Amino acid sequence: MDSLLIAADTALRTLFAVPQAHERTPAHGIAEGALTPAQKQLSGALMRVNHVGEVCAQALYTGQAAVTRDPQLRDHLLAAAREETDHLAWTRQRLDALGARPSVLNPFWFAGAFALGVVAAKVSDRTSLGFVAETEDQVAAHLRGHLARLPEQDAASRAVVARMKEDEERHAAQARTAGALQLPRPARAAMRAAAKVMTTTAHYL
């Protein structure tokens, strides 16, 4: 029951509340760059995609924590979710600064990621950790791509994305240290395909 209440609370806070970061944004003190309308639109679209990724991270970790029977793993997953809350807040702040909006499909993204987290955790804790490691690897690669696409003038967004990439790489390493099972090649390919659909859609919606 406690796990269900935590999951419901996380869903409500993620989708309908203004996220509160525990750590100050990496964009703090960086002046807004002089962006052309096209550059501002691109930065807004990329940060919307990144915000969706953080919505999914909240759902994924919460779904896994709700199912695992290992108290130590549950604490690890919830701690990671709290850290991802900083990312959620930072990306939302960048959306506001750029005059962009979050994805209108966020409830859909949350529900799908939560279901995936539950299924992965149902298989085994090592599979659940393997899902975390692969997800974070793919997110880190995706963020590297965004660093190559974000306008040089948008130093604030670039600072946020660079810090997020470092954190995601660390989460993947921690999952492997905890005993993550490497997922089969077809599973990894399916995750990349699903991520492609999400990122392409969220770029516009």
pLDDT digits (tens, 9 = 90+) for 144-200: 999 999 999 999 999 999 999 999 999 899 889 988 999 889 988 988 898 889 889
Residue 22 domain-assigned? Answer: no
Residue 44 domain-assigned? Answer: yes
pLDDT digits (tens, 9 = 90+) for 31-85: 999 999 999 999 999 999 999 999 988 888 888 888 888 888 888 888 888 888 8
pLDDT digits (tens, 9 = 90+) for 133-146: 999 999 999 999 99
Residue 51 domain-assigned? Answer: yes
Report the alpha-carbon distance of residue 88 to residue 15 in Å, rounded: 11
Please state the rounded mean pLDDT for residues 95-117.
91
CATH of the domain at 42: 1.20.1260.10
Residue 135 domain-assigned? Answer: yes
Residue 23 domain-assigned? Answer: no
Angle at 30 between CA 83 and CA 19, to 5 degrees: 30
Residue 123 domain-assigned? Answer: yes
Report the alpha-carbon distance of residue 128 to residue 130 in Å, rounded: 5
Residue 29 domain-assigned? Answer: no
Q: Where would I find the beta strands (DSSP E) of 28-159?
A: none
Q: Which domain holds residue 7?
A: 2-14+34-204
Residue 19 domain-assigned? Answer: no
Question: How many domains does the chain divide into?
Answer: 1
Please state the rounded mean pLDDT for residues 5-31.
80
